Amino acid sequence: MQDRIIIFDTTLRDGEQSPGASMNTAEKLRLAKQLERLGVDAMEAGFPASSPGDFEAVKEIAGVIKNVQVTALSRTSKEDIDQAWEAIKYAVDPRIHIFIATSDLHMEWKLQMNREEVLKSAIDAVRYAKTFTDNVEFSSEDGSRSDRDFLCRIFEAVIEVGATTVNLPDTVGYAFPEEYSALLSYVIKHTPNINKAILSVHCHNDLGLATANTLAGLKAGARQAEVTINGIGERAGNTSLEEIVMSLYTRNQLLPLTCGIKKQELYPTSRLVSMITGMPVQANKAIVGANAFAHEAGIHQDGVLKNPMTYEIMEPETIGLSSNRLVLGKHSGRHAFNVKLEEMGYQLNKDELNRLFKRMKALADKKKEILDEDLEALLGDEILRVPDTFKLEYLNVVSGSGAVPTATVKLIIKGKEEQSASLGVGPIDAAFNTIANMTGTKCKLLHFSVNSITGGMDALGEVTVRLKENDIIALGKGADPDIITASAKAYINGLNRLAYLNLNPVRKSE
Ligand code: KIV
Ligand code: ZN
């Protein structure tokens, strides 16, 4: 059996289904290019039949990505398969990924179909997809709760008509590792033609077992792992790509499998996903969390100084976490700036680099040292950029004990300068009220958070907001040493993204 596994990344599809994780086409494209750099074997770019926006995004990605199989998800209907194919037909190595639920629970209550109908539907779909491409994957949704003999029957049948990958998902994150591995072993033993296809695993993290289950599945004989960056995905998420890759690398003697991932790209990819989706990575997240390589206890620090292996099972440099804290400042030139961004793993075009350099210089006038985190905050602003329907020109807030918080705001609205003032219960509320009155937005503020990026009195404040209007949810980010200005910038960025999404709908919630 081959010992190189296929890494199938579904951040752009299952990952994007996380509540609040939303990407527009430009952001998806940027992430797709980073996934290619990371070295994934296949990327699931989306579910084209789910919305015109998804269709367009998948089509653009398929046209640009050259070294990775681009996959489109599809139900079993001909209409879905036609749309999936239309979106990926120009990809270098297009894959159609067909799924249908196979557990009795899902078949009875969700599909209202019996086993024979589901079997026929799966066979017909794979046969039809094969008329477009050789590369067809079949997934038995809720596979881990399906009757195991029915699973073998349906896998045998779809392989017979040409499925090249069969995937057995733990859709609701219910399985235990031994149970999942036993099910896969059973399927391998009782599906006569299983050797003609790659067996794949796809796990969700509802019980915090997604990584353990995926490793158990690989140990049992699966050779494709379906994963997402930072483990984002439906509900509690999917198996995290970085955890699988680093588990295989760190414990290779226990599970001697390899993959094509470039490990130094793990950390930059994680940062990019967090930036684009607005989903922070929890500090104690394995591999890529802020504390993953931090040693607080004195005994640990002492041990690590004497020999890092005492408490570090991996080296931070392996995942692309640079130990070199080259600090930029007022006098840094363009060269140091470009080198720094490259070291951090960001690939920007010339315009983006120029804009960012100017912003770095402006920040350096206010803040002595520009750390990686400051640069990331500025990068976040650039990466989340959409056309400016509204632009902040001026903000003045009066606040303090005894004063009624009042904000005066000057905005450029569709090219015209306007000014207004309003009150609020606090300075940020006053700024938001003024901006809302001026722009006429009826959006609801779903989420507001302020993060002090580097610590210290002159730290940059990064504000993230999530806004909802007409069923569309948009993320907004703003960074500034003044947190009221950062808040206003984030709010305006969110409004610009709402305006952009109203014109370019992606999915219902972005
Ligand atoms: O979790 C799941 O079952 C899925 C399938 C569509 C593969 O995401
Ligand atoms: Zn899934």
Q: Residue 146: what residue type?
A: S
- Distance, CA of 421 to CA of 240 (rounded, Å): 47
Residue 233 confidence (pLDDT): 96
Q: Work out the pLDDT band at 324, boundaries 50, 70, 90.
A: low
Give the other-Cβ count within 10 Å of 25's Cβ. 18
Query: Contact, 225 vs 201, CB < 8 A?
Result: yes
Query: Contact, 140 vs 102, CB < 8 A?
Result: yes
- Distance, CA of 80 to CA of 97 (rounded, Å): 11
DSSP 5: P
Cα of 398 from ligand 2 centre, angstroms: 49
Could you identify the atom of ligand 1 that is nearest to the CA of residue 172? 1
| Residue among 14, 73, 145, 168 whose CB has most ligand 1 atoms within 8 A, to mutate | 14
Could you identify the atom of ligand 1 that is nearest to the CA of residue 171? 1
Cα of 170 from ligand 2 centre, angstroms: 8
Q: Nearest C-alpha to atom 5 of ligand 1 is from which residue?
A: 141
Ligand nearest to the CA of 175: 1
Q: Work out the pLDDT band at 164, boundaries 50, 70, 90.
A: very high
Cα of 220 from ligand 1 centre, angstroms: 20
Q: Work out the pLDDT band at 18, boundaries 50, 70, 90.
A: confident
Residue 510 confidence (pLDDT): 38
Beta-bridge partners for 479: 462
Q: Work out the pLDDT band at 509, boundaries 50, 70, 90.
A: very low
Helical (H) or strand (E) element with 416: strand 416-423
Cα of 498 from ligand 2 centre, angstroms: 27
Q: Residue 19: what residue type?
A: P
Q: Work out the pLDDT band at 343, boundaries 50, 70, 90.
A: confident
Cα of 239 from ligand 2 centre, angstroms: 9
Residues with CB under 6 A from ligand 1: 14, 99, 139, 141, 167, 169, 171, 202, 204
Residue 455 confidence (pLDDT): 63
Identify which of 397, 408, 484, 498 has the alpha carbon closest to the alpha carbon of residue 446: 498
Strands 42-46 and 6-9 turn out to be: parallel
| Residue among 76, 137, 139, 167 whose CB has most ligand 1 atoms within 8 A, to mutate | 139
Ligand nearest to the CA of 200: 1
Ligand nearest to the CA of 234: 2
User: If you search the block for the tokens 């008509």, which residue do you land on?
Assistant: 161
Cα of 509 from ligand 2 centre, angstroms: 18
Q: Nearest C-alpha to atom 6 of ligand 1 is from which residue?
A: 99
Mean pLDDT of the chain: 91
Between 184 and 507, the higher pLDDT residue:
184
Q: ∠ at Cα 411 (484, 500), nearest 5°?
A: 95
Between 199 and 337, the higher pLDDT residue:
199
Give the other-Cβ count within 10 Å of 420's Cβ. 14
Cα of 184 from ligand 1 centre, angstroms: 16
Percent of residues, the chain, with pLDDT higher than 90: 68
| Interval 174-187 mean pLDDT | 98
- Distance, CA of 74 to CA of 382 (rounded, Å): 33
Residue 381 confidence (pLDDT): 73
CATH value of 390-503 in 3.30.160.270, 3.40.50.300, 1.10.10.10, 3.90.76.10? 3.30.160.270
Say yes or no to pLDDT of 404 above 80. yes
- Distance, CA of 497 to CA of 435 (rounded, Å): 15
Highest mean pLDDT among 136-145, 285-294, 394-403, 453-462: 136-145
Residue 502 confidence (pLDDT): 74
Secondary structure (3-state) at 183: helix
Q: Which of 83-87, 249-253, 503-507 has the lowest mean pLDDT?
A: 503-507
Tens digits of residue pLDDT in 193-231: 999 999 999 999 999 999 999 999 999 999 999 999 999
- Distance, CA of 151 to CA of 341 (rounded, Å): 48
Q: Nearest C-alpha to atom 2 of ligand 1 is from which residue?
A: 171
Cα of 416 from ligand 2 centre, angstroms: 46
Q: Which of 24-33, 289-298, 484-493 has the lowest mean pLDDT?
A: 289-298
At 428, list the tokens.
Answer: 């940020």
Residue 152 confidence (pLDDT): 98
Residue 494 confidence (pLDDT): 92
Query: Contact, 62 vs 90, CB < 8 A?
Result: yes
Report the chain's C-alpha Rg in angstroms. Answer: 25
| Residue among 74, 111, 168, 171 whose CB has most ligand 1 atoms within 8 A, to mutate | 171
Q: Nearest C-alpha to atom 7 of ligand 1 is from which residue?
A: 139
Ligand nearest to the CA of 237: 2
Global pTM value: 0.87
- Distance, CA of 105 to CA of 77 (rounded, Å): 21
Q: Work out the pLDDT band at 118, boundaries 50, 70, 90.
A: very high
Could you identify the atom of ligand 1 that is nearest to the CA of residue 169? 3
User: If you search the block for the tokens 């039949």, which residue do you land on?
Assistant: 49
Torsions phi, psi of 477, nearest 5? -135, 145
Cα of 487 from ligand 2 centre, angstroms: 35
Give the other-Cβ count within 10 Å of 169's Cβ. 25
Residue 1 confidence (pLDDT): 63
- CATH tag, 3-277: 3.20.20.70
Could you identify the atom of ligand 1 that is nearest to the CA of residue 14? 8
User: If you search the block for the tokens 């290019």, which residue do you land on?
Assistant: 33
Residue 168 confidence (pLDDT): 98
Cα of 145 from ligand 2 centre, angstroms: 14
Q: Which residues contact 108 (CB under 8 A, 6 or more apart)?
A: none
Say yes or no to pLDDT of 507 above 60. no
Torsions phi, psi of 4, nearest 5? -105, 120
